[in-house]
Structure 1
């Protein structure tokens, strides 16, 4: 049981087995398993869709089609190769963000170190992809066409810094938005609780702020979905740069 709202951001061990090896199951690992189980259920539903599918299966197929169109529009005809990666990452972030909105749950996306490490690994993969496809020609990405020779060193430095910042900004944007939204609801909820427990007048006056908190909660659910979509769009655009060099 969580005794403090801030515990949704703390990684705690749930099970520790000491033998020849130490096996530790944390709440972070538990929620990763939950998210992976839900995603596997997605795949099972898609693979069993028939012409007489249910509304749930139609929603899943619509999500599949939306992400497919996104990848093709961002990357181009070769985007189908990277669609399984983008679709899996979108579902992972999408499910993790929605689960974090459940009271007394754990916010995976708010963990800055794992999410930023994940974005760095994707960035390294993009660099390896670009070097594999274009070899040394990949570095032409840092020199825009038609650049005067005198400005090349300056532009190369600026483009290199901009390209390198993607490694951190991709995951930092996601974790910062989720963390700030949860902290906002935590602060407002704590203030309303203190107000309503102070007196009868405070209890009556706290009804209106509760409506605002409910509206903010609905907004945070929308932001949780949008952040997964934005992460997928940015990752697709970064892959496009590695594939097409523009």
Structure 2
């Protein structure tokens, strides 16, 4: 017996990646208008990460029928890539397909509200920021959401609330990293990718400025 996806699940998988193939080496658009005004063309499929039936690629005997037919076990691919992953399951294991799924969904999430002309590299970099620097991005997004002036750009990292920090002639928000040491690494990565400007040379209390483009993205994403 096969644990097939129902139509609702197929639609969800397609929409969560904007009808784009989840293979990072492909990224083909899988849906568009047909020649007739009331027709659409689709070359995408909802593929199973673990097989829908016994003996299939990456079959997991411990997965229930409900789990096997859920959106969690699905990945949206073009027809060619769907055939590719099933023809060589050793090269395309479960862990890899879940990574494709996460990255493509993050890229689609980052593109919401953005101009369609953004390059794939720009979208991929934003999705990497969400994945690799989730804690830092969450703090920065909170700062931007609370900024009623829409002028707040400077953020300083402090060990704890007992450390005072002043900026001559300006204002800043403070984030405390003592219990979250990875925050400093995440802010450093965001700086290296051009999302933040470094305003001082201190390693214990680094001061950053959010770039205007990154500020706008944080405000709408």
Q: TM-score range by the shorter chain?
A: under 0.3
Q: Which structure: greater helix fraction? A: 1
**Which structure ranks higher in relative contact order (CA pairs < 8 Å, sequence separation ≥ 6)?**
1
Q: Which structure: greater strand fraction? A: 2
Q: TM-score, with normalisation over the residues of structure 2?
A: 0.26
